[in-house]
Structure 1
Amino acid sequence: MTIARTDDGVDLYYEETGGGTPIVFVHEFAGDMRSWEYQMRHFGKWYRCVAFNARGYPPSAVPPDAASYSQQRAVADILTVMDHAGIDRAHIVGLSMGGFAALHLGLRHPGRARSLCVAGVGYGAEPERQALFRHESEVAAAFLLEHGMEAFADRYAVGPTRLPFKNGDPRGFEEFRRQLAEHSALGSANTQLGVQRERPSLYSLPEELRTLTVPTLILNGDEDYPCLAPGLMLKATIPSAALSVIPNCGHTINLEAADAFNRVVGDFLVQAESGRWPVRQARNSGDSITGMSAHADAVRQ
């Protein structure tokens, strides 16, 4: 068992496989490092792959106080694992909660990221949805503490954006639900309260997002409706962002469409490593549709 200890004394469990350029995988709220098994096996053939359990997810430690959990802590925990593994720079691949952490790592510590894959990001990000998301995080935390993990998994796993997974791959979905039921109720409740509820809206960070030049892939499933509009916003705002959408796929894209996910991410990593990843210029983002309006204005001047 490989353990990295954070500066606030929390033990984080991680595993690695393969060799070469490092990739760090950061899991979603309903997952853990086991959720990345398809990716660890696939990318471990060519890369040094690292996956870890976030704080609150055994065998990582479960701090009892929700104040020990935050978006900033989630970013710092990625860096703790990287430092312990002797990794200076890595491709960071995150899904949902892990995608938020990957993006914030790129904003705060761009020198530590070779690239960012920001997958399934957007829940509660839109300003008009933020109050509802905060309320649902509080309801989820209360349910976890009152009814336990098994009952929570039975409800949470069949949320609207998980149904494509359930309908398309019943056996894979049942494994996902069973692993979710094995999580810590306390750790999951604290994650809801400290990380999910309190993270800043992406729409409040336009100036920071415009400074990001690390190669970035925004990746969503087309049935994951809460993430589609935020994904477009990120594509339009981040100068170094590409956008890819996997068809007929919900939120759990690395599991329900593992082959497509691996193919898109693999192509992205090769391009990001090439040294020729494009960064969009300001002139590419004007209001004109064809460019003729801007041309006419220039002629008149």
Structure 2
Amino acid sequence: MPYAGSGEISLYYEETGRGTPVLFVHEFAHDFRGWEMQVRYLSRFYRCITFNARGYPPSDVPERDDLYGQDLAVQDIGAVLDHLKLDRACIVGFSMGAGTALHFTMRHPERVLALVFVGGGTGGNPDSRDSFIAAARRNAQIFLDEGMGSATVQRMLSCDPTRIQLLHKDPRGFEEFRRQLAEHSAAGSALTMRNCQALRPPLSNFEAQLKATRVPTLIVAGDEDDPVIETSLFLKRTMPAAGLLVMPKTGHAVNLEEPAAFNASVHDFLVAVEQRLWREREAENGEPDKLDTQEQK
């Protein structure tokens, strides 16, 4: 099995296809398997790389709080790229993975050809942040006490108002999601929830860095994913090279609910970036800002 080292942690990864590398970063409630429909389509055109975050078998599951957190998750993206000897890649992140991918992009813009930010920003509303942190800590203890396959955890992570659309649209896909969720490590999920989800700062804290980030970015959200709508709008208004795609009657798991539309939109975006047709927002004087001139490799 292929592994990339990140400090003392080993991260499991898979790669399919040839061409420009596209690295996928998964959400909290899923793992690398959640990108299967994207890999099957996009690997016809690109070198698609998926990996499991620390705490998600078959990646290592350390049992210390200090071995989890936003900074380490960002480090892990770089570790996978370094292991594969990739100077630059397109990065697609979903939810927890979207936030991690965005932080990596802000810190290392020279390594990111293009960014797709999907369903990110939960917990970033200042009015509800304290309750979000308290719930994250409480949920982490439930994972440890009951396990990821318990009815309580399954209801919590698969049947909330932002998730239930998948059940209505694709019952088989919904059951697969629940089955794979039950296979996750309770310890890994709890430590990720406690140290990454609960402690990550809201993206609104990074307005200056976001304004300076000129990497071509596609922001994707479902219109029934209320916790991320405001963050998506904030990023669109703040990042000069960002575009926003909102999918109607769609919840959190956009890539699972509407795979055909999602795949086509991501493919169109990547082609536009490769052809240098993804323009930055027009400047205040009415003249277009310069095209992204990053050398494509």
TM norm. shorter chain > 0.5 = yes
Equivalent residue runs for 1:1-301 within 5 Å: 1-7=1-7, 9-151=8-150, 152-283=153-284
Gaps of 5+ in 2: 287-297
TM-score, normalization: structure 2?
Answer: 0.93
Q: What amino acid does structure 2 have at the position aligned with 1:107?
A: M
- Give the drift of 1:154: 3.8
In the alignment, is the contact (CA less than 8 A) between 1:126 and 1:202 conserved in 2?
no
Q: What amino acid does structure 2 have at the position aligned with 1:277?
A: W
Q: What amino acid does structure 2 have at the position aligned with 1:109?
A: H
Gaps of 5+ in 1: 286-301
Q: What amino acid does structure 1 have at the position aligned with 2:3?
A: I
Q: Deviations over 1:171-193 (max 9, x none)?
A: 11010011001000000000001
C-alpha separation between the residues in 2 aligned to 1:158 and 1:224?
A: 13
Cα distance change, pair 241–284 in 1 and its aligned pair in 2 (3 A): farther
Cα distance change, pair 137–284 in 1 and its aligned pair in 2 (3 A): farther
C-alpha separation between the residues in 1 aligned to 2:156 and 2:123?
A: 19
C-alpha separation between the residues in 2 aligned to 1:194 and 1:82?
A: 24
Q: Which protein is richer in helix relative to its size?
A: 1
C-alpha separation between the residues in 1 aligned to 2:92 and 2:140?
A: 26
My pick for the range that moved more, 250-259 or 146-155, is: 146-155
State the SS of the aligned residue for 1:121: coil
C-alpha separation between the residues in 2 aligned to 1:18 and 1:141?
A: 37
- Give the drift of 1:276: 3.4
In the alignment, is the contact (CA less than 8 A) between 1:127 and 1:203 conserved in 2?
no
Q: What amino acid does structure 2 have at the position aligned with 1:250?
A: G
- Give the drift of 1:105: 0.8
In the alignment, is the contact (CA less than 8 A) between 1:217 and 1:242 conserved in 2?
yes
State the SS of the aligned residue for 1:64: coil
Cα distance change, pair 284–272 in 1 and its aligned pair in 2 (3 A): farther
- Give the drift of 1:149: 1.0
- Give the drift of 1:282: 4.4
In the alignment, is the contact (CA less than 8 A) between 1:154 and 1:177 conserved in 2?
no
In the alignment, is the contact (CA less than 8 A) between 1:56 and 1:184 conserved in 2?
yes
Cα distance change, pair 217–142 in 1 and its aligned pair in 2 (3 A): same
| Structure label with greater radius of gyration | 1
What is the number of residues matched between the two proteins? 284
C-alpha separation between the residues in 1 aligned to 2:42 and 2:282?
A: 32
C-alpha separation between the residues in 2 aligned to 1:284 and 1:191?
A: 45
C-alpha separation between the residues in 1 aligned to 2:285 and 2:63?
A: 49
- Give the drift of 1:169: 1.1
- Give the drift of 1:155: 2.9
State the SS of the aligned residue for 1:128: coil
My pick for the range that moved more, 266-275 or 109-118, is: 266-275
In the alignment, is the contact (CA less than 8 A) between 1:20 and 1:48 conserved in 2?
yes
Query: Percent identity, aligned pairs only?
Result: 49
C-alpha separation between the residues in 2 aligned to 1:284 and 1:10?
A: 50
State the SS of the aligned residue for 1:35: helix
State the SS of the aligned residue for 2:246: strand
State the SS of the aligned residue for 1:11: strand
